[in-house]
Structure 1
Amino acid sequence: MANTQSAKKRVRASLRKRDRNRSTRSAVKTLVSRARRPAVPGAGSLTSEEVRRAISALDKAAEKGVLHANNASRRKARLMSALAKLAPASEKPAARATSPAKAPSTRSKTAKAKG
């Protein structure tokens, strides 16, 4: 048991912090599981709105220090990957038109250095 006054205060503070962190972690888990669950029974599709909410909750938890930043990042990547796999091909953005390669400069490097 804590002996000094400051140690006793740290125990009280850590209990408050634990409850707050537990609540945040629970909310994040709920939102992530909701995002992973199909919107309609039998349909295996993630809704982008639910994924957006889950990602927002993960970002906030990482910002508060409840989750490690890399942990939140990994979870977000997995959610986005699952969403991308289930998105129909028609919704995917078209590939960018590639521009022709830029012609190399005709001036030599020594000419630039002298000028």
Structure 2
Amino acid sequence: MPNIKSAKKRVLVNQTKAARNKAAKSALKTQLKYFDAAINEGNRSEADKRYKEAVKAVDQAAARGLMHKNTAANRKSKMTLRLNKIPQ
């Protein structure tokens, strides 16, 4: 446990940021899960809607620094390929 006042504050700030990051990552995984469910169901209109939400969540995660921008681009590319396999 830190003894210096600034070190104690850093511990509290880091806990707050870790909790925020964990919540954001959980929300991202939830969006991706909904997209996967729509893809597996084969419902194109639902998949389109979920795709837009998932892409937005991935872009926000990359902007916040939760994932690297190339990782975000890779995920979006894979989602697009999966979406395009569903007949219209």
Pair in the same fold by TM > 0.5: yes
Q: Tell me the equivalent position of 1:30.
A: 30
Q: Tell me the equivalent position of 2:72.
A: 72
Q: What SS is found at the alignment partner of 1:2?
A: coil
- Contact 1:35 1:51 (C-alpha < 8 Å) held by counterparts: yes
Counterparts of 1:49-88 in structure 2, within 5 Å, are 49-88=49-88
Rg (Cα) greater in structure: 1
- Contact 2:38 2:50 (C-alpha < 8 Å) held by counterparts: no
More helix by share: 2
Aligned residues: 86
Counterparts of 1:34-53 in structure 2, within 5 Å, are 34-38=34-38, 43-45=41-43, 47-53=47-53
Q: 5+ unaligned residues in a row in structure 2: which ranges?
A: none
Q: What SS is found at the alignment partner of 2:66?
A: coil
Q: What SS is found at the alignment partner of 1:86?
A: coil
Q: 5+ unaligned residues in a row in structure 1: which ranges?
A: 89-115
Deviations 1:9-67 (A, max 9, x none): 1111110001111111011100011011137xx74345111010000011111111122
Taking CA–CA contacts closer than 8 Å with sequence separation of 6 or more, which of the two structures ends up with the larger relative contact order? 2
Instruction: Return the alpha-carbon distance in structure 1 between the equivalents of residues 82 and 11 of structure 2.
Output: 41
What percentage of residue pairs aligned between the two structures are identical?
34
Instruction: Return the alpha-carbon distance in structure 1 between the equivalents of residues 8 and 77 of structure 2.
Output: 41
Q: TM-score, normalised by structure 1?
A: 0.66
